[in-house]
Amino acid sequence: MLGPVLLAAARSDGIRRFVSSTPVTRPVVNRFVAGERLGACMESVRSLTGRGLDVTLDHLGEDTTVRAEALRNRDAYLALAEALAGEGLGARAELSVKLSAFGQVLPDGGHDIALANVRPVVEAAAEAGTTVTLDMEDHTTVDSTLAILAELRKSFPQTGAVLQSYLFRTEDDCRDLAGEGSRVRLVKGAYDEPASVAHRDKAEVDRAYVRCLKILLSGKGYPMVGTHDPRMVAITQELARRLGRKHDEFEFQMLYGIRESEQSRLAAEGHRMRVYVPYGTDWYGYFMRRLAERPANLGFFLRSLATRG
């Protein structure tokens, strides 16, 4: 019930201003976000990779409606790729981008603007010895995002996609993207989607997730299993064993600050475990989606508001 309300709040400017300017939200936000500046982000990268975890870095930002801001977001990723190259961390750290931060939703030619802005980031990532994964946003952006993926993969076939099991279309998309060299992060999906395009029932989303897992793990690509759900982790391990996939032929991914002991456990078992590390000042939308996913996170947030001062 609360999920859709919080997801609607994630897109409200008024609530954004209130929550972003309330100092007591900081400690809660810090649980999910690795800091506001590149320096703080790089500190997390060193710490996580030092513990045997890989990372994917997200410079926070989305739904950009001003062209200059899309360029600033591009430049933030170029600086990030340069920092990774400088520290020789390309083999351990990749980049996750939201195309809406690169101009995808701009009214005139957003698709082409996003492609033009993301291309130099993909090139810089390749020079730094790493890759870029295109995060998936709400369902209205999926066709455009997959078309940009196809375009980028012509020169950089290692560019990754994200598919969301809650969308009815996703099993077909998994089949299309299960080929040689393709990298796909499978997630359940974090946006409030209408019943006309997506499963709304949690059990249905889970069942769809397992069907998609089967397609990706039996394919020839590199599946990236993005979930904190212990059932999905166990099913992945069992399917990989049955299908003869070795530990380095797929990976698990979890979000920064969520189920950290499970992240360490999977890495210690010899799995490749990648942590999604968001950083930057524009944390509001990301933070609200994390609250919407889990009532316990919301409780933690509300308690900190109630005890302020």
Ligand X SMILES: Cc1cc2nc3c(=O)[nH]c(=O)nc-3n(C[C@H](O)[C@H](O)[C@H](O)COP(=O)(O)OP(=O)(O)OC[C@H]3O[C@@H](n4cnc5c(N)ncnc54)[C@H](O)[C@@H]3O)c2cc1C
Annotated catalytic sites, by residue?
135, 185
CB 256 within 8 Å of CB 277? yes
Q: Residues binding ligand X: what is the number (CB under 6 A)?
A: 24
CB 285 within 8 Å of CB 10? yes
Region from 73-81, 171-179, 251-259, 300-308 binding ligand X, contact rule CB under 6 A: 251-259
Please report, as residue ranges, which positions from 31 to 60 form the binding site for ligand X (by CB under 6 A): none
Question: In the bound complex, what is the minimum distance in angstroms from residue 159's beta carbon to ligand X?
Answer: 14
Region from 140-148, 149-157, 221-229, 264-272 binding ligand X, contact rule CB under 6 A: 221-229
Region from 70-78, 86-94, 223-231, 277-285 binding ligand X, contact rule CB under 6 A: 223-231
Which residue in 189, 223, 278, 285 binds ligand X (CB under 6 A)? 189
Residue 191 lies near ligand X (rule: CB under 6 A): yes
Residue 255 lies near ligand X (rule: CB under 6 A): yes
Instruction: Please report where in the chains the tokens 């069992």 appear, as a residue.
Output: 238
Partners of 252 in beta bridges: 225, 273
Our CB check for ligand X shows the closer of 70 and 134 to be 134
Which residue in 16, 67, 72, 228 binds ligand X (CB under 6 A)? 228
Partners of 289 in beta bridges: none
Question: In the bound complex, what is the minimum distance in angstroms from residue 164's beta carbon to ligand X?
Answer: 5
Our CB check for ligand X shows the closer of 25 and 309 to be 25
Checking phi first, is residue 263 left (phi over 0); if not, alpha (psi -120 to 50) or beta? alpha
Q: Is 141 helix (H, G, I), strand (E, B) or coil?
A: helix
How many CB atoms sit inside 10 A of residue 143's CB? Answer: 11
Here the tokens at position 263 are 């992240």
Which residue in 54, 62, 94, 135 binds ligand X (CB under 6 A)? 135
- Enumerate long-range contacts of 79-88, CB under 8 Å, 24 or more apart: 79/38, 80/38, 80/41, 81/121, 81/124, 81/125, 81/127, 81/128, 81/130, 82/124, 82/128, 83/38, 83/42, 84/45, 84/57, 84/128, 84/130, 85/127, 85/128, 85/129, 87/42, 87/46
Our CB check for ligand X shows the closer of 117 and 145 to be 145
Residue 229 lies near ligand X (rule: CB under 6 A): yes
Residue 197 lies near ligand X (rule: CB under 6 A): no
Region from 19-27, 140-148, 186-194, 301-309 binding ligand X, contact rule CB under 6 A: 186-194
C-alpha distances out from residue 182 to 54, 206, 300, Å: 19, 23, 39
**Residues interacting with ligand X, by CB under 6 A?**
135-136, 162, 164, 185, 187-191, 226-230, 232, 253-255, 258-259, 276, 293-294
